[in-house]
Structure 1
Amino acid sequence: MGLLRERWIADAFDRTDRTRFVPDRIRLPGDSDSGRTIDRTEEPEAWAAAVWDPHTSVVTQLDDGATPLDHPGGGDFTSSVSALDIVLEKLHHLDLRGGHRVLEIGTGSGYHTALLAHRTSQVTTVEVDPRLYEQARKNLSPTPVHLVLGDATTTVPEGPYDRIISTAAVHTHLPDAWRAQASHGAVVVAPYTTALVHGGALLVLDGYANCLHGRFAGSASYMLLRAHRPAPVDVSRLPDAYETHRSPIDPEQVIGRGWGQTFALSLALPGIGMDVRTDDDGRRLAQLWDRHGSVTVLNIADWRDEGAVTWWGPRNLWAEAIEAYARWRADGQPHFTRYGITVVRDRHVLWLDVPGKRVLTF
């Protein structure tokens, strides 16, 4: 595996038994195996293959507390042991050295924590779920780490820290507590996602005197931090007043050209979510919304028709998406890894290629 090219990562991988940190019953994610639970006692070879598969995470918890056995046919994934490839990729970007003070957000089963502890003896790890906290405490014994039960999005054990790494995704905004506890010269590695597209990217930031500053390093699909899960938006209760118009552009040009383009556009549309579905009449519809009462519904196939776009509330979200698309085209259709973010307290600045080329502040 190419990501084992760094000696300390290879040593940590070799000396940490991943099977110690995975429960006997796991769930496999993905369309082909959705809903399948593997019991180690009944299918030991399938269990081992899943645990050591370099490209697949194994789900260990559903619905914030249930095991895969409790919900054999469904439930929301709420904790996992991440796939080896992305774990090693994140450790590579962390650039961890012996003696560094490390803050890990999301202990989970403790596997990722154990890898960090092979490099430095100063690891503080924070877990918000009491059950996972207890499991990790047992799994990590007698590894010398500082394990804390709490919500690291609001309260972080006192630093400063040389390295901060999250095992769950942030939604649009990085917690200011992380910025405040990052030392000058720190590295912060966190999966980052938006509401517009499923999945996300890996954000790698450097710490300065009062800010974090860096860019996206590649794709990374993670469960959200619990405090960053968006509250449900009820789009069934819409005001009586609405407006309609044609779409000035084929929607497939904007939202139908793959995940990479959509994610790049989503960076310029913070706080806007989208679902694409087929209604009872067989029409393919895109529905966009924000959390302040704006909803836009777009008839994708009949986009030229008057009334193809219907919007409620103060914002025409499809018009904003088109504006973001036009700006992206004018900038040369940049790949999402050309974008970066600067975090200063509660203000985030999205930029392209260099910090001086600001896209927006949010």
Structure 2
Amino acid sequence: MTFTDLDEGWSELGRSLLGRKAITSDWMPSFAAVPRSAFLPEVMWPHDMDTGTTATVDRSEDAAGWSAYADADVPIVTQWDDGASDEPGGVPTSSASMPSVVFRMLADLDVHEGHRVLEIGTGTGWNAGLLAHRLGHASVVSIEIDPVVAAEARMRLARAELPVVVLTRDGAEGDGQGAPYDRIIATAGVRKIPPAWIDQTRLGGLIVAPWGTHYGNQDAIVRLEVGGGGASASGSFTRPAEFMKLRSQRLPFAGHHAYAPDGVGAAERSTTPVTADELLGHDDQFAVSTFAVGLRVRDCHHRAAVKRDGARPVWFYGLADNSWACVLFRDGQPESQVWQAGPRKLWDEVNAALEWWREAGRPSHGRFGLTVTTEGAQRAWLDDPADSWEI
């Protein structure tokens, strides 16, 4: 296939994806035959990665702008607050991922002719459509928990003559009736790999999913191979990402006032030389330090406030008890004030995890891995699966 096989709008995106090695040549026929634009709603909310903002784009009012966003490498929100709102500003709960993310994950999935694939999180249906074009629609089953989103995806897939079976259920359950599958791919972030996914993947098959901890919203794509006689799956992370979370695994956070309603007055005080850049990774959305700390500090969630007047507090909350900590970073100060309260010393745990990561040579996402079992155990590791710890 050459770029002359693509229409003008898609050829520009195709050149960009190929130039960045975000798509492999074997996916180009599906890329050309199954345009993302055919799977997007009339009203959508493209996300600006630089500013973190979204804009409402209505095709009936701005057809050119709508088409430009549809053919751009940007994520697009397609639902807010589980469908309860039609306006931005709430919680985004369904989306069309960036094409570069979509095709990198499909490359990780390593599908071949004859493979059967289970997709978790149908969304717009575009990812299922790409797989169906490559493998045949009878070889792909997709699961979507939201009945409205599922119905719209079925309609778009049928219109594209790719009538994939779309099941309406919690994706954590998988599809036992259709198992075993050669591949399972999730397009929703998870905090636990559901045991059903391992059970429903054949021995030697692959599970590709965005995985992370409740420490933050960040995910990393994990590529697990099922082994251990079908009782476990293990593999490395490939790259950072961020996805909307599986509904049954969303953050169980009671809110700040459940921890420190009266402020920091009665907490234990100390100071730290750790800087905001060391902790937050220069505000990088995909900071490796943040991912590493999440792997080492269990049952903890953190939130960094916006800097105001040179001051920026970062809060830490225990998810299994009422422990909390706060570090207040101030511009120009060599040390920062720390407050801690509750059964756990959360800042001490976070600081120890940061020190461990630094002493390990500041390893990247790709050096970390995950091993999971059908009994629900999860263990993380650095370089060697034999040297793992429970998470």
Same fold, TM-score > 0.5, yes or no:
yes
Residue of structure 2 aligned with 1:45, choices 40, 61, 64: 64
The unaligned stretches of length 5 or more in structure 1 are none
Q: Does 1:125 align with 2:142?
A: yes
Q: Is the 8 A contact 1:246 1:303 kept in 2?
A: no
Aligned with 2:350: secondary structure? Answer: helix
Structure 2 match to 1:177: 196
Structure 1 match to 2:327: 298
State how far apart, in whole Å, the 2-side matches of 1:102 and 1:254 are.
Answer: 41
Q: Is the 8 A contact 1:78 1:223 kept in 2?
A: yes
Q: Which amino acid aligns with 1:88?
A: F
Q: Which amino acid aligns with 1:236?
A: H
Structure 1 residues 185-210: Cα deviation after superposition (integer angstroms, max 9, x where no partner)? 11111112333334321111111121
Kindly tell me the number of residue pairs found equivalent between the two proteins: 353
Aligned with 2:348: secondary structure? Answer: helix
Structure 2 match to 1:61: 79
Structure 1 match to 2:338: 309
Structure 2 match to 1:219: 240
Q: Is the 8 A contact 1:254 1:322 kept in 2?
A: no
State how far apart, in whole Å, the 2-side matches of 1:243 and 1:41 are.
Answer: 56
Q: Which amino acid aligns with 1:25?
A: V
Q: Does 1:135 align with 2:156?
A: no
Q: Which amino acid aligns with 2:123?
A: G
Q: Is the 8 A contact 1:247 1:303 kept in 2?
A: no
Aligned with 2:271: secondary structure? Answer: coil
State how far apart, in whole Å, the 1-side matches of 2:255 and 2:360 are.
Answer: 35
State how far apart, in whole Å, the 1-side matches of 2:254 and 2:217 are.
Answer: 16
TM-score by length of 1: 0.90
Q: Which amino acid aligns with 1:140?
A: L
Q: Which amino acid aligns with 1:325?
A: L
Q: Does 1:268 align with 2:301?
A: no
Structure 2 match to 1:229: 250
Residue of structure 2 aligned with 1:161, choices 161, 181, 188: 181
Q: Mark the CA change 1:18 to 1:336 in structure 2 (over 3 Å): closer, same or farther.
A: closer
State how far apart, in whole Å, the 2-side matches of 1:224 and 1:278 are.
Answer: 23
| Displacement of 1:83 | 1.1
Q: Mark the CA change 1:91 to 1:309 in structure 2 (over 3 Å): closer, same or farther.
A: same
Residue of structure 2 aligned with 1:77, choices 92, 96, 99: 92
Aligned with 1:319: secondary structure? Answer: helix
Q: RMSD of the alignment, in Å?
A: 2.3
Structure 2 match to 1:26: 44
Q: Which moved more, 1:30-39 or 1:175-184?
A: 30-39
Structure 2 match to 1:328: 357
Structure 1 match to 2:55: 36
Q: Which moved more, 1:128-137 or 1:30-39?
A: 30-39
Q: Mark the CA change 1:76 to 1:237 in structure 2 (over 3 Å): closer, same or farther.
A: closer
Q: Does 1:6 align with 2:25?
A: yes
Higher helix share: 2
Q: Is the 8 A contact 1:246 1:304 kept in 2?
A: no
Q: Is the 8 A contact 1:235 1:295 kept in 2?
A: no
Q: Which amino acid aligns with 1:17?
A: P
| Displacement of 1:47 | 0.7
| Displacement of 1:238 | 4.0
Q: Which amino acid aligns with 1:316?
A: K
| Displacement of 1:138 | 0.9
Q: Which amino acid aligns with 1:224?
A: K
| Displacement of 1:280 | 8.5
Structure 2 match to 1:353: 383
Q: Which amino acid aligns with 1:225?
A: L
Structure 2 match to 1:94: 109
Q: Is the 8 A contact 1:340 1:352 kept in 2?
A: yes
State how far apart, in whole Å, the 1-side matches of 2:52 and 2:276 are.
Answer: 29
Q: Mark the CA change 1:289 to 1:17 in structure 2 (over 3 Å): closer, same or farther.
A: same
Q: Is the 8 A contact 1:100 1:163 kept in 2?
A: yes
State how far apart, in whole Å, the 2-side matches of 1:57 and 1:100 are.
Answer: 28
| Displacement of 1:22 | 0.6
Structure 1 match to 2:14: none
State how far apart, in whole Å, the 2-side matches of 1:346 and 1:354 are.
Answer: 20
Structure 2 match to 1:105: 120
Aligned with 2:176: secondary structure? Answer: coil
The unaligned stretches of length 5 or more in structure 2 are 1-16
Identity %: 31
State how far apart, in whole Å, the 1-side matches of 2:253 and 2:334 are.
Answer: 28
Q: Mark the CA change 1:251 to 1:98 in structure 2 (over 3 Å): closer, same or farther.
A: same
TM-score by length of 2: 0.84
State how far apart, in whole Å, the 2-side matches of 1:303 and 1:194 are.
Answer: 30
| Displacement of 1:34 | 2.2
